[in-house]
Chain A
């Protein structure tokens, strides 16, 4: 009962207003309608039939109703200024019905004019058509509201996914394992006196972190930038795994497209996380174009302790592509190959 009490307590004045208005409207409407029907023997079915069979009135009512509800939903969003909107809805239905009744069955109006019943028959036609228009407007209002609800929900889903992706990217920026491994390798290079290698390593590491910081807020980046980052990343991995990684980019010289920041790097990182990397069984990672898709492939040599949570990055990439482009990322896994097909943007 709590929810019902809360509604009654918070909005009793609005509810009372609506009840009063509808009650007044209904009593007036039914009284006038019934008195016209019974006193002058007008037939509702004839008015309905005339309305449906008169293409001009029918089309006029449908088109104006759609246009008006669309305009109202644009200028008076649902749930805001509801009194104004409700009154405008009623006024609109009344105007459309009044015009419709005027156009409808002019011959009948002439007949009733001769019998001095023109106004009575016009009022009866208007009230009958009012019902049909009211029904159409309610259906249209609900349809427009449904469209609005759907777009709000899609927008919220996109924002949620974007936030998840941003969070994941943020986590990647400070990935302690990556940093720990990098610093260990750096320490090894310094200890062994390989100054040039150590310097190159620091530059590449710095480039990676600079790229992450620079493109943190970008939705899309040129593939050339992303490939440069991925190359730096693979270079660092190569120092760690020696000859265990083979990385090949097989793209046309002048190939241009956009990709989601860190997407290629994340796919390379995933390949390394999921698979064994050693000199005897090198991990082959390839980036190429096929059937108008950007493919990131690797051979499968799964590690024993694979963590399912690593799919978070891949899922985020899929969601980001879907939200930004409306296109899906295809994932294919055979016994020997793992292929991620990114849409070309």
Chain B
């Protein structure tokens, strides 16, 4: 039995893993067609964070600033991480460095957002 605080763990798992896969797919697809992926990645990141934190009724104003921060943080972590990985690896890891790093960064951002919302959850709150 999951307790009150962990009752949305299943939903969070589903959301974060799905969005991480979606992020990775977008990076792979857009780089294949040589298109900029900023817009779809931003939309996906903001959607993921808002959906995850709203499971615990996290206020929208904080959800928005959190999304904004994670978008920038994710962008810098993703681009720098991708560069770092592709510079230090060869073969599959080099070719798919951006895809792998995007997947990992999305997972990290999603779970950090989940932990923040879970730990600041007011059970009776409806706002």
**Residues on A close to B: CB < 8 A?**
1, 3-4, 7-8, 11, 14-15, 18-19, 21-23, 25-27, 29-30, 76, 78-83, 85-86, 89, 131, 134-135, 137-138, 141-142, 145-146, 149, 152-153, 156
Contact = CB atoms under 8 A, between A and B. Distances in A.
Given A4-B11, A149-B120, 12 more contacts: A4-B14, A4-B51, A7-B54, A15-B51, A19-B46, A19-B47, A26-B71, A85-B61, A86-B64, A142-B62, A142-B116, A152-B122
B59 A78 contact: yes
Interface in B16-49: 38-39, 42-43, 46-47
Contacts of B75: 26, 30
Contact of B65 (A26, A27, A86, A152): A86
B93 interface: no
B67 interface: yes
Contacts of B125: 79, 152
Contacts of B99: none
Please name the 9 residue pairs, one residue from A and one from B, whose CB atoms are nearest each other, closest first.
A79-B59, A79-B127, A82-B61, A82-B60, A85-B61, A78-B59, A138-B69, A86-B64, A19-B46
B62 A30 contact: no
Contacts of A15: 47, 50-51
A4 B68 contact: no
Contacts of A138: 65-66, 68-69
Contacts of B64: 18, 21-22, 82, 86
Contact of B72 (A21, A134, A149): A134
Contacts of B69: 134-135, 138
Max chain A Cβ within 10 angstroms of own Cβ: one of B54, B60, B71, B124: B60
B96 interface: no
B60 A14 contact: yes
Contacts of A14: 60
A274 B121 CA distance: 41
A26 B116 CA distance: 23
Interface in B70-96: 71-72, 75
Contacts of B104: none
Contacts of A145: 59, 62, 120
